[in-house]
Every structure is written in C-alpha cells, then in structure tokens.
Amino acid sequence: MDRVRLAIIGAGNIATMHLPGYLADPRCDVVAVCEPNADKGARKAAEWGIPKVYTDLAECLADDDIDAVEILTPTHLHKDHAIAAARAGKHISIQKPLANSVADGREILAEVAKAGVLFRVFENCCGYEPLRKARELVLDGAIGAPVHVRIKTVTGWSESKFEAGLDPEGYIWRFNDDAPGGHLFDDIVHKFAMQYWLVDRDITRVSSVVKPGPLFFEPAAASFEYEGEGLLGNMEVSHAPDMYIESDGWSADEFFEIQGESGYIWVTRLCARLTELPPVVMYDGLKRNHITFDDVNPDYFRSFDNAAQDFIGAIVDGTTCDLSGELAVKVLQLCFATYQASMEGRTIDVASVSDKVSPPWWPPTMEKLIADSERESARRG
C-alpha cells in the first residue's frame, strides 16, 4: 500500500491535536470523519477539508474507500468501536487509554489478531522527541544499565489559549461512571506508559498512596519494581492550584529521570516550559561530563504529528509502531494496580489485575464537583 485513506472517528477536543500530522503526511489522505453530532461533524469536516461526513459508525466502516481509522471516541466506547473496525478489516489507531478495563483491552486484541489488521494505541509521548532521544540513549547503554526511573507530574494553572479553547462538553464523561478513575486514568496513563517504554522493561509489583483531590485530580506517590535485577521506579503526581505553569498546551509540568549505573538522563519538560534547562541532559559519570542535547525539538504538539506519521509509516512501510496493544494492556494493569495498592495498603502484583479497579471516591458527586469548581474559580479571582 502506497497511500493510506484514513477516517477520523470522533471530532472532539483531541481530534484537533491528531489531525495536523495526518493532514501533513504525503502518504495519507484523510477522507472521512464520523461524528454522531451531525452539525459538529459537518463543521469540522469543512474546517479540516475532509470530503465525507458520517454520523453512523457502521456506515463509515462499510466504506471501501477507507483503509484505516483513528478512533478518538470516549474511552468507554473503545471496545465496541475497535472491534467493529477490526471486523470491517480496517487498520486501527486508537486514543489512549486502550479501554475501561483489562478484560475489554484483551477482547479488543483478540479481535484484532483474528482480523489480521494493524493495531496501535496513539501515545503521543512515544512521538515526543526528547523522550525518544532519552530512550535511544538508554537502550544504547549510554548510562550503563538503568537502576531507577523517576517521573514527576504537577498540575497547576496556565494562560494557555489551547486549554481555554477546549469544549467543556468533551469532559462530561470523564467525571462520571463512564470512566473508572480520574487523573491517574485519564492523563497519568501517559506516564505509566513511559515507565515501561523508556527502559523497555516490564514492571512486576507496585506500592502506592493515592488521594482524592479537587475535581478529578489524584495526588499520588507510587513505587515500582521491574522484572530482573536492579531496576526500581517512582512516580509523583501533585496538584499545585496556585502554581502558574507556562504552557502552550495543558497546565501541567513533567520531569523524567533515568538513573543508570554510570550516569543519568533528564528530560526536563513535556507540556510546559518552567526551566531554562535544555530538553535533554545526560551526565556521563565515566567521562565526568554533562552533555546537553539542545537540538532536540521540545515542541509538545509536534509529538502528535510524529505519532500520527508513525502509524502511516507502519501501514505503508511496515515499520514498528508504538504503542502496541500488548503494552497498552500492561499500562492499564499498572494504573489499576496503583489504585488497588493504595486502597488495600499492600504491594500488588501488576500481572494479577484482570479487570478494573476504581477508587472509592470515584465518580465524584455533583456537590463535590460544584464546590471544587467554585473554589478553583475563586483562586483565579
């Protein structure tokens, strides 16, 4: 196949981030958008220059002029939509998280294998160039065998035009029982994926403390044990409501550290620009020097373009495409194990998670959401 004819399934907030990479790829033609809201679908198709508009998924998948789909629907719909696409013989890219449960994720993978179509989970962090550079350095042995992986996320507030322009309707399902959890499930799955992907090692056990925060935020501290010997990990998730975060995207800041036997690698940002540090810094303890990679592009939105084009490359050229469905299932297991470890006050075997785990505070009551929203608004004046 020399060109891919792609349909976008779901025209919500996240579609505006996924589309540019596909539209810019000369190997790809975005030929259709499927959106149950007819007015929104027509409006977005005109904005993006897409010729066909569907409101019914079955009709879209029956179109023989479509080779592949990008599924950008709410997570609780992923299983049905992915299985329908697989049975229609379409190659599939699907927005993270893979599904609402491990069982649903495995059912998707079984149908994909039966259909023989290409399948991946859209994980823009795999397309973020500083993280790609860090992974390359780790796997090349630049800091020796990795001994510790630490990922920190803090949410605050920003003046991001992107964030201010998001459609609030796209968040409703994230705050009710259509989602099994809050911030850890919706956003921190990116970082759970990186805990695996940066070092290409499985995580076997997790212990954690997770607390309910305002809105859907969930401050957390988790410790991970990897397969084999000598590798541990930590994750920190904080909410700092009075902290201004300079960002063109989300009002969040991230920091990644991979410690090796002979040095370390820092990735100093993802969404935000809080420091003057280069995007990637490596300390080579054997040569006793710091190396900075100033030429690595730290543009957050470019990560979506790269991830989109990776999918097209996998179809056209047979190249490897991150994030695999198998790894996406492990990411779900790690997320749910982190909730479970905190709830039960014990270490959890990640592989033992076979369905889903929801924390006792989820979903939040309407009264809590209103009170939290009023409190957050008062902070901003």
Q: What is the pLDDT of residues 241-251, one digit of tens each?
A: 999 999 999 99
Q: What is the pLDDT of residues 40-56, one digit of tens each?
A: 999 999 999 999 999 99
Alpha helix segments (H runs only) across 30-77? 38-48, 57-61
Q: Is the pLDDT of residue 100 over 80?
A: yes
Query: For the whole prediction, is pTM greater than 0.95?
Result: yes
Sign of CA dihedral 299, 244, 380, 360: positive
Give the 3-state secondary structure of 129-192: HHHHHHHHHHHCCCCCCEEEEEEEEEEEECCCHHHHCCCHHHHHHHHCCCCCCCHHHHCCHHHH
Between residues 23 and 380, which one has the greater pLDDT?
Answer: 23
Average pLDDT, the chain: 96
DSSP secondary-structure letter at 98?
Answer: -
Q: Is the pLDDT of residue 380 over 80?
A: no
Q: Is the pLDDT of residue 14 over 90?
A: yes
- Cis omega before residue 364 (within 30°)? no
Q: What is the mean pLDDT of residues 112-130?
A: 98
pLDDT of residue 377: 81
The CATH class given to the 126-298+332-352 domain equals alpha beta
* Residue-by-residue DSSP string for 336-376: HHHHHHHHHTS-EEGGG--S----TT-SPPHHHHHHHHHHH
Q: Which residues partner with 272 through β-bridges? A: 247
- pLDDT-derived band at 150 (thresholds 50, 70, 90) equals very high
Residue 34, token pair as written in the block: 């499927």
The CATH class given to the 4-122 domain equals alpha beta
Q: Do 31 and 51 meet the contact criterion of CB atoms below 8 Å apart?
A: yes
Alpha carbons 22 and 27: distance in angstroms, whole number: 9
Burial zone of 238 (CB within 10 Å; 0-12 exposed, 13-18 middle, 19+ buried): middle
Q: Is the pLDDT of residue 381 over 80?
A: no
Q: What is the pLDDT of residues 295-305, one digit of tens each?
A: 999 999 999 99
HSE-CB for 232 with a 13 A CA cutoff: 4
250 SS3 class: coil
Going from N- to C-terminal start, the domains of the chain cover 4-122, 126-298+332-352
Share of the chain above pLDDT 90, in %: 95
Strand 203-210, strand 91-95: pairing: unpaired
Q: What is the mean pLDDT of residues 69-95?
A: 98
Alpha carbons 64 and 74: distance in angstroms, whole number: 25
Q: Which residues partner with 284 through β-bridges? A: 263, 289
Q: Is the pLDDT of residue 201 over 90?
A: yes
111 SS3 class: helix
